[in-house]
Amino acid sequence: MYSPQQVLANYRQQFGEGARVFFSPGRVNLLGEHVDYNGGFVLPAAIDKGIWFAIAVNNTNTANFVASDIEESFSVNLHEVRKQTGWHNYVLGILYILQKKRYIIGGFNCLFGGNLPQGAGLSSSAALEAGLVFALNELFALGLSRQQMALIAQEAEHSFPGTKCGIMDMFASLHGKRGNCMMLDCISLEYEYLPLANDEYELVLINSKVSHQLTDGGYNNRYDEAMEGLSLFQTVNKKITSFRAVSTEVVEQFSYMLSDEGHKRCLYITQEIERTREAAQCLKANDMIGFGKLMYQTHKGLKGLYEVSCSELDFLVDQAKMNYDVIGSRMMGGGFGGCTINLITKNKRDAAVTDIVSSYESVYGIQPEVYVVETGDGTREVMNDEL
Ligand code: GLA
């Protein structure tokens, strides 16, 4: 776990003076899961945990990277950016897409480290991509908007690590606003901040410690299944360009065209798009009880219809549901591991969390980590007086 001061000190030791420091946050998602790549709406928020980058131009053609957290480093000639393996691909993807789009960047030294748990579903990879593109935009005066940066980060993720992710993670990291989540329309990319100012309840993440990697294949498999389902609806009506135009009733009407699995996937997607609209209304009306009920419904869908949960996450949600003070709970993010997000009565939080955590420990022999969600601002430069 690194602080910005440590990141800067490590940079100085390795490369000398002259670095600027940037911060790129992870994200949570309140609702709208697996619908960003299906033309839906999502309700993410940037958090106060993330990755700090110390970075400076080096007047060469080489980019030098140091990942402090894992004590690994590598260098790349900017004229020879090719796919590699592991975390290298997240940074190489950004260099590749920027240059493919004819943005001119020179060599630089970059050391990064943070306090974002990896594999927990808090989008450490999107934070890395968004932070790097943001820093390079500043260093080389590329003139990119935050939306353009999010789209570049998404393209980089598709091209190099090879995850067919939606836009949610990088968009949330780049556009976060403290005290708010955002209702993001994943087609138009229009968004509205929704204040998360509730004195009665708080959001708590419980990390199952089942580590997930989007690159493992399950995520892309769901993407392919969703696209297959969509193409069937398009044979019925050519005007359909995304699941936004398909209702749950239409899925039922044409279910005979779908496989059992296809039917379940399409049902989940259309229900979740509808549920997210409803959830945004609950937030606007400060109806947290209503919002919490929708969280439980989303989990049911992710478990039974989209099938991206796992027994550990289901157990955590079941335990939460038995506790009167947890008014909403569900798995969060891509799935197959990572965290549950829980909406808990504020002054009952410790007791509720202790209950859930100790039952989990006794069944799985794993001690989950718990994080109380603090929302934060989006990717930004950290000024000297903050260091
Ligand atoms: C991952 C992806 C996102 C989104 C979520 C599921 O975090 O990167 O684009 O699809 O899973 O909602």
Q: Which residues, at least 6 apart from 82, have a Cβ–Cβ distance to it below 8 Å?
A: 92
Kindly give the number of the ligand 1 atom that is closest to the alpha carbon of 163. 8
Euclidean distance between CA atoms 77 and 65, whole angstroms: 12
Confirm whether 25 is domain-assigned: yes
For ligand 1, atom 2, the nearest C-alpha belongs to 165
Q: List CB contacts of 378: < 8 A, sequence separation 6 or more.
A: 25, 46, 146, 172, 173, 174, 175, 176, 177
Q: What is the pLDDT of residue 215?
A: 64
List residues bridging with 206 in a β-sheet. Answer: 340, 370
> Is 12 a member of any domain?
yes
Q: Which residues of the chain have pLDDT under 70?
A: 214-215
> Contact 157/125 with Cβ under 8 angstroms?
yes
Rounded CA gap, 244 and 350, in Å?
Answer: 40
User: Known catalytic residue: 169?
Assistant: yes
237: tokens are 């009506």
Work out which ligand 1 atom sits closest to the CA atom of 219: 11
Instruction: Tell me, using a 6 A CB cutoff, whether residue 333 lines ligand 1.
Output: yes
pLDDT of residue 123: 95
Please state the atom number of ligand 1 nearest to the C-alpha of residue 35: 12
Per-residue pLDDT reduced to its tens digit, 254-286? 999 999 999 999 999 999 999 999 999 999 999
Cα 33 to ligand 1 centre (Å): 7
Alpha helix stretches (DSSP H) within the chain: 4-15, 88-100, 124-139, 146-159, 168-175, 218-236, 248-253, 260-284, 288-304, 311-322, 349-364
Domain coverage including residue 164: 4-195
Residue 163 counted as domain residue: yes
pLDDT of amino acid 54 = 98
How high is the pLDDT of residue 214? 67
At residue 217, the pLDDT reads: 79
Tens-place pLDDT, residues 314-352 = 999 999 999 999 999 999 999 999 999 999 999 999 999
Produce one character per residue of 257-293: b if its CB has 16 or more CB atoms within 10 Å, e if not.
ebeeebbbbbbbbbbbbebbeebbebbeeeebebbbb
Distance of CA 270 to the CA centre of its chain: 21
Quick check: is 313 in a domain? no
Q: Which two tokens stand for residue 260?
A: 């059992």
Residue 219 CA to ligand 1 center (angstroms) comes to 8
Query: Does residue 291 form part of some domain?
Result: no
Residue with tokens 């630089």: 108
Q: Does residue 33 have its Cβ closer than 6 Å to ligand 1?
A: yes
Coil, strand or helix at 263: helix
Query: How far, in Å, from the CA of 168 to the mean position of ligand 1?
Result: 7
Ligand 1 neighbourhood includes 37 CB (under 6 angstroms): yes
Q: What is the CATH number of the domain that holds 189?
A: 3.30.230.10
Calpha distance 300→171 (Å, rounded) = 26
pLDDT at 199: 84
Say if 354 falls within a structural domain.
no
155 within ligand 1 shell (Cβ under 6 A):
no
Measured from the CB, is residue 36 less than 6 Å from ligand 1?
yes
β-bridge mates for residue 41, sequence order: 185
- Distance from C-alpha of 96 to C-alpha of 108, rounded to nearest angstrom: 15
- The verdict on residue 139 lying in a domain is yes
168 CB under 6 A from ligand 1? Answer: yes
Within-domain flag for 203: no
CA–centroid distance, 8 to ligand 1, in Å, is: 31
Looking at the 3D structure of the chain, how many domains does it have? 1
Ligand 1 center to residue 334 CA distance, Å? Answer: 5
